[in-house]
Amino acid sequence: MGLLSGDALLPVAVAVAVFLLLVDLMHRRQRWAARYPPGPMPVPGLGNLLQLDFQDLPYSFYKLRNRFGDVFSLQLAWTPVVVVSGPAAVREALVKHSEDTADRPPMPTHERLGFRPHTQGIALAHYGPAWREQRRFSVSTLRNFGLGKKSLEQWVTEEAACLCAAFAKQDGHAFSPNTLLNKAVCNVISSLVYGRRFEYDDPLLVRTLDLLEALLEEESGLVTQVLNVFPWLLYIPGLVEKIFSGHMALSVLLGTLITEHRTTWDPAQPPRDLTDAFLAEIEKAKGNPASSFNDENLCCVASDLFAAGTVTTSRTLSWALLLMVLHPDVQRRVHQEIDEVIGQGRRPEMGDQARLPFTNAVIHEVQRFRHIGPLGTPHMTIRDIEVQGFLIPKGTTLITNLSSVLNDEAIWEKPYCFHPGHFLDAQGNFMKHEGFIPFSAGHRACLGEPLARMELFLFFTSLLQHFSFSVPEGQAQPSDCGVFGILLTPRPYQLCAVSR
């Protein structure tokens, strides 16, 4: 009882406060290391959390970069973070120190959701043998796709035709294109993973997309950031199930589809899709405890491919259509080029890309001007490194500010305008640009880049071959400013797609 009396409580409170301050100081000690990047002064316990606008982190980082330079530090509660911006610093971190920065920071929320050393999927896996094995497997499966009956290009071309048919059904009336774009792009991942597509009204496709949207909301929600910073909160009974219901339901759904798929798998036949190839690897790895080929990881890899490969591509296509509506002069030139090179008599194919330099430049400029992942995915250093003369210690979370490169004033003629000329030379030929890094660079660069480029080209060209896009009569011009979650998304808008 004596312990609870006022006299005794004060020294205990002071001792606890001093202890917490010491722990806090210990977590911040690297701030005082020589050549540690500068940054705003953190407050005890919370660090710089209250100085950031989590609704618009790219803008917070823009202001901090103006104050502290291309390499600055932050303290998110007890997590040390360094943000690198601008072409030189980002390249140095991602390319020169590609392996040193190839880890991902620990995510307590994912660990609670079942992340284990051999069950980490790819996108958020720690740098190590399990990640390497799965990355290699996915890259080679994507490359060799076509072992089955159809090549990936055929799947995408046929899906593009289905998408055009669904747009045509709108009969020129105002509609939001996002749901149809999501369905088409999700079907491409489904053909890769399960060797099948779904009709656009199939409840399984609708449910998968609903759960992917829920997963994205859960990942970008403030609660998730708070839980990753204060992981002991994750032990509140029932909290994980409530906050991550989308994650959990998606795993169950993908698991059910995989179980169904297994019943039709014939190991004696060549693999029909990624799931077949993975099941064959599981058989080979039986008895090898070091292997990451197991049933749970198949579900994690499938979930990663759906999550990383669906909304990214469909949101980019949504930006592309929005920008066509806002720039009818650019749209006219794309129509003209497609009419001259492809006409109306056949479907676009990848072989046309080299003969459509303006269209290709427009797609690149969409990705530059409205990049869906302005801050990339966080990395973590596996050893001490130096970037632009600053020391970044081992174990630091690294944010690579991709939009600072894609909008850099020194390397782009009109960084804040939609200007396809960025990718054209004086003769109108397509021209690559060293600052174009929407898929990031180095060891963790997007492994779906070839597929994403194919989808963007075939879907965009097919849609523009068949339709003219415009703002619905009586509606205001939509805004080209986005909303930032984990991805930069166009604000809700409608368009009319009139058959040409």
Binding site for ligand HEM (CB under 6 A): 122-123, 135, 304-305, 308-309, 312-313, 316, 372-373, 376-377, 438-440, 444-448, 451-452
**Contact predicate 87/407, CB 8 Å:** no
Please, which residue, 258 or 399, has the CB nearer to ligand HEM? 399
Nearest distance from C-beta of residue 151 to ligand HEM, angstroms? 15
Tell me the sheet residues that pair with 80.
Answer: 75
Per DSSP, the three-state class of 412 is coil
For the bound state, the minimum distance from the C-beta of residue 341 to ligand HEM, rounded and expressed in Å, comes to 23
- Give the residue at shortest CB distance from ligand HEM: 448
> Closest distance between ligand HEM and the C-beta of residue 102, in Å?
8
Closest distance between ligand HEM and the C-beta of residue 153, in Å? 14
Q: Compute CA 111 distance to the chain's CA centroid, rounded to the nearest angstrom.
A: 20
Nearest distance from residue 472's CB to ligand HEM, in Å? 27
Q: Does residue 299 have a known ligand-binding role? A: no
Which phi and psi (to 5°) does residue 296 adopt?
-65, -40
The residue (of 123 and 243) whose beta carbon lies closer to ligand HEM is: 123
* Closest C-alpha to 38, from 64, 72, 84: 72
* Residue 246 vs 376, nearer CB to ligand HEM: 376
Helix, strand, or coil (residue 416)? coil
Task: Report the alpha-carbon distance of residue 329 to residue 453 in Å, rounded.
Answer: 24
Contacts of 486 (CB under 8 A, 6+ apart): 216, 219, 220, 373
Task: CB nearer to ligand HEM: give 45 or 450.
Answer: 450
Strands 397-400 and 79-84: parallel
Phi, psi torsion values for 103, nearest 5 degrees: -85, 165
Q: What is the distance in angstroms between the CA of the first residue and the CA of the last residue of the chain?
A: 84
Min dist. Cβ of residue 207 to ligand HEM (A): 20
Candidates 315, 411, 433, 302; CA nearest to 371 is: 315
Burial of 212 (0-12, 13-18, 19+ CB in 10 A): buried
Nearer to ligand HEM, 240 or 359 (CB): 359
Q: What is the DSSP letter of 93?
A: I
Taking the C-alpha atoms of residue 333 and residue 99, their distance in angstroms, rounded to an integer, is 43
- Comparing CB distances to ligand HEM, the nearer of 227 and 317 is 317
Nearer to ligand HEM, 51 or 377 (CB): 377
Q: Could you tell me the smallest distance in angstroms from the CB atom of residue 271 to ligand HEM? A: 17
Q: How far is CA 43 from CA 28, 38, 206, in A?
A: 10, 15, 45
User: Please, how many CA atoms are within 13 Å of residue 450, restricted to the half-sphere of its CB?
Assistant: 12
Nearer to ligand HEM, 47 or 195 (CB): 195
CA 275 – CA 137 distance, rounded (Å): 11
Distance of closest approach, residue 2 Cβ to ligand HEM, in angstroms: 56
Q: Least distance to ligand HEM from the beta carbon of 437, Å?
A: 8
**Of 254 and 471, which has the nearer Cβ to ligand HEM?**
254
| Type of residue at 419 | H
Coil, strand, or helix at residue 442? coil
- Rounded CA separation 392/80 (Å): 10
Residue 360, C-beta contacts closer than 8 angstroms, at least 6 positions apart: 353, 423, 430, 457
Question: How many angstroms separate the CA atoms of 273 and 68, rounded?
Answer: 49
Minimum distance of ligand HEM from residue 141's CB (angstroms): 10
Our CB check for ligand HEM shows the closer of 205 and 452 to be 452
Give the nearest distance from C-beta 267 to ligand HEM in angstroms: 25
Three-class SS state of 75: strand
Contact (CB, 8 A) for 303 and 130: no
Task: Using the minimum distance from each CB to ligand HEM, give the nearer residue, 224 or 310.
Answer: 310
* Burial per residue of 233-256, b for 16 or more beta-carbon CB atoms within 10 angstroms, e otherwise: bbeeeeebeebbebbbebbebbbe
Query: Residues within the annotated binding site for heme?
Result: 446
Query: Residues within the annotated binding site?
Result: 446
